[in-house]
Structure formats: C-alpha cells, structure tokens
Structure 1
C-alpha cells in the first residue's frame, strides 16, 4: 500500500501547497514516523518536494507546483474509483486510501470519480440456475458511463417474451448479480431494473439524471433482491429449531431463513421460504435432528410421507441384512 500513500501525499501537496508530517499522518491514518519516511522517500526519488524548518514549516512542492502530479486522465480516475468503490471486493485498506485520494483530485475529475465509486454493486449470489455469461453484455460500458456522468439514456429493451420497447430512463447504478448484469434506473413508472444483456440500444440524451438525494445503490439493490426472492419463494413455513442447528440452517438456506425469538422449551422460532410444499419438505427432511415444522399442515404431511417411504425402503433392507430393528 506504500505506492497508494505516496500518491495520496502528492495529491495532498497539490491541493494544499504545504503539509506537515502530522497532517499527512492524520489523513492517511499512519504514524508520523511513517509519514516522514514517505515524504523523504518522495524527495529521494526525485519528486520536486522540499521541507521547511521552524514553527511554520512543513513540506511543499518546488515552485508551488499545481500540475496534476498523479498523471491520471478523467477516465483513468473514474476507472480507479470504480474498481475500489464501497461495494466492490477491494480490501478496506485500498478503499480507505482511495477515499483520501478523491479529496485531493483536481476538481474536474472529482465529481465523476466519486460517482464511479458508488455506481456499481457486486452481488455474488446467483438466482437459481442462471446460465453463465461468458463476456460482459454489449451495452455495459455505455450504461455505466451514463451512470457516472449522470445523463439520461434512450433505452431499447427486449423483455422475456421477446417484445421490444423503447423508453427514456435515468440510470442510477449497475449491479453484477452472479454472472448477470442489471441496470437500476428511474423511469416514468418509478424505479425499475433492467437486465443489461436484454438492452438492444443505449443512446445518451445529454439531459441530466434526476437522482433522489437519499438514493443508495447497495440499499436499493437489497430491496430489489429481497422482493425477487419473495416472488421466487412464495411459500412460508413456520418451525422451531434447536439452538445448535441455527448455524446449519443459515448455511443451507441463506436469505430464505428468518430467525425469531426463543420458545418456552429453549428452541428458536424460525420462518423458512420455499417454492412449494413438496420441494421444501424434501429439502428439510434431513434436518429432523434439529428442526420441527409446525405449519402449514401440508408440509408436515409431506414430511411424514417422506419418513414413511424412508422406513419402508431402508428399514426393510436393514432387517433383511440382520441389523437391529431399532
């Protein structure tokens, strides 16, 4: 991470003209000793920085240089912050360094760099058996650029039935969900989500996007994903689970599990979502050691049928093999 710190120091010098080691340490969340060592390293590497001694001393760029020492173009600055935005897989250290970098970017770059940092959410969990897309969809770059620049787009879109429509949308963010990409956008009918691989055209209009002041892409996507999950798993069952089985349920069911409070006998109330009664009963049958389904009755009936079938098949074989009837 030292290279990130050195770039951050250069940009701080560019912005403030003079900094002290204590200010650098505070900005970059390092010790003053590390800050001094980094400043010395810049000077030794030939960067035009020098130190002033005394009460009003500090470090300056030779001649009060105000050039863009980072060498970043506008598109490179956007790309940098896109890679390490708050919802990316970048490490916390990288994100922290980039948050400091953005404060020192030249003004023409800063707004779009900050927009890039919040333009993309990565959600690695797939929905069902989604086919793998072997390369990014055709209009991904154009739509992401529209999000970052904050311009409306005339969008051509093909729905799941093959019908093509055209509308003007306000791009708000891009989400990578497993192998698929989605555009979150405002429309005349409210906020909508579009699969990017179904976009047939994307033409920026030049008109500014109307972006809600409180819009948060990650939070909005969680609401969208939760709603889709509820539609995909409309059935809810009630059950109680032994405390030591909750971790198993979490691992197996993920977001389809809601954990409630304790019962009088020490077990935990849970609600589990699924597609239909039969499939959910089959999925939960092996958890009988920890889980007791309390409703609806149809799921309990399916579980009882599964138990009878298992005993019929494997209990008989066990007796024939000389095993204990248990």
Structure 2
C-alpha cells in the first residue's frame, strides 16, 4: 500500500503551496511519523520535494512543480465524471476517489471535470415503491471479487426456493441496468443475477481463478449463450392496431413487423426461448394478438385461455365481442 500512499502524497503536494507532515497524515489517514517518512521517500526518489523548518514551514514542490499523473485528456475526463460523478448515485469510495482526482488535475481541466460531475443525477427509487433488490448484497459480492474470497451464496431462481452454492467470484457485469455475478463453480463458469442472491457468506478460503481468465472475454461468451437461448424459437401472427407499444415493452428488439393490412392488423414475428414462453408473454393482450404458428404457440394460448375461463367463469353479458379472426393460417406473413 505504500506506493499508493506515495502517489497520494504527491497529488496532495500538487494542490497546495506547502503542507505539513500533520496535514498530510490527516489526508492519508496515517501517523505523522509515517507521513514524514513518505515525504522523505519522495525526495529520495528524485521528486523535487524540499522541507523548510520553523514557523510557517512545511514541505513543498520546488518551484511549484507539477506532475500530471492522470495522463487523461479533457474529453476522457469529462466522460469519466459524467459516468461516475457525485450526483449519479456513486458510492462513498467513488466520490472520495473523484475528489482526489479533481485535485490531481491541472487547473485548466479542473473546471470542466467539476461541471461534468454536476451534469447528471440518478434516482434509484423504483416507480412501484419497491426497493432495489441488488443493493442488499452487491457490496459484499464486489468485495469478494476484489479480495478473491470464496463465497457460499443463496440463490433463488424465479418460482423456486433459494439454494446455496459455493462459488469463486470472478467479476460483476452489468447488462441493461441489471448486474450479474460471474463465478466459477463445480459446474463451470456461471452467471448469477445479483438481485436474486439471497445470502452471501465467506467460507474463509481464497477464491480460485482460472489461469489466463479475462472478464470481458468470459462475459461475451456467456452472454452469447444466453442470447442464443433467448431467441431459440420464433412465432408468427398478427397484431391489432395500437398494440405496438405494448409489444415492444414485452419483447423489446425480439419483435418484428410486416406491412399493415387493409384491416389495420399488422403481421408480426417474435423470438423467444420457446413457443410456449412467447405465448405466455403475449397472453395478456387477449384477442388483440393472434398467433398463427407454430402449433405449439396456439396450443399454449388455448391452454392458458381454458385455465382462465375455468378460474373466472364464462364471459358475462355486455362483454365486447372479439375482433374478426385472421385469414387462414399461412395466408398472411410478415414482409
């Protein structure tokens, strides 16, 4: 850690005309004696640092010398502060690091960095009023990744009871605002959605790390497999006017449209893990979407309809009539 302290000491000197060992000790969170040794180490390393004894004395850089340790360009600095500035939901350690970085920047770049830090805000409150599920265990998972600690985690898949697994945490990845833990397990590399982690316990053992492991490469490979599973099946059908916004909310980029017909209905194609899953996603649209093929999708919708009818009974008087049925299957196809 001493190398980190020496860099921090030099950055602190750059922002002050003169500092005392006591001031540096307070800044670095060390004893005054340690701070003095660090200053002497900088001088011994050839950094133009000198001390002046007596009242009003202290340590200074010769001639106000500066060393731009960041190596950052103005556009890079603006981008960094836009992404992680104090008003974007960054944690306390990030905010402390950003303050230190501001002090380390040359004066011409400092104003732009501070302006960029004030340019964004993040509101973590769910519109439904529910607290974010990720926050509960994210810090513990991140710490285990950095410190390479083996973990025993509880993990609950949708509709199942939590199950404990021993994992070797390797990294945290974020996709579309959702964080995932990448970990090595007895079954190989796996991803765990952070919001579904129910408990985190350190086993006391160090985490193993595969030789040559690269987080970005591993994530791309795992993400590609997940995406392949998400588009393993395609259904075709047609949608009533005004359903586009709902369809895109449900399926995102997995929905495609054909040319709207004279009756206002639009041919659609939708991708998903299976015809049954896609059917379940579209079931809430009722008669405003009709699936034409494959047969498994139509069977799944018929089963869902029968279950709902059995649960809620036959439609009562005054129920609006369903729109006209589509032409025979295969007569309309997306363009």
TM-score normalised to the size of structure 1? 0.40
TM-score by length of 2: 0.39
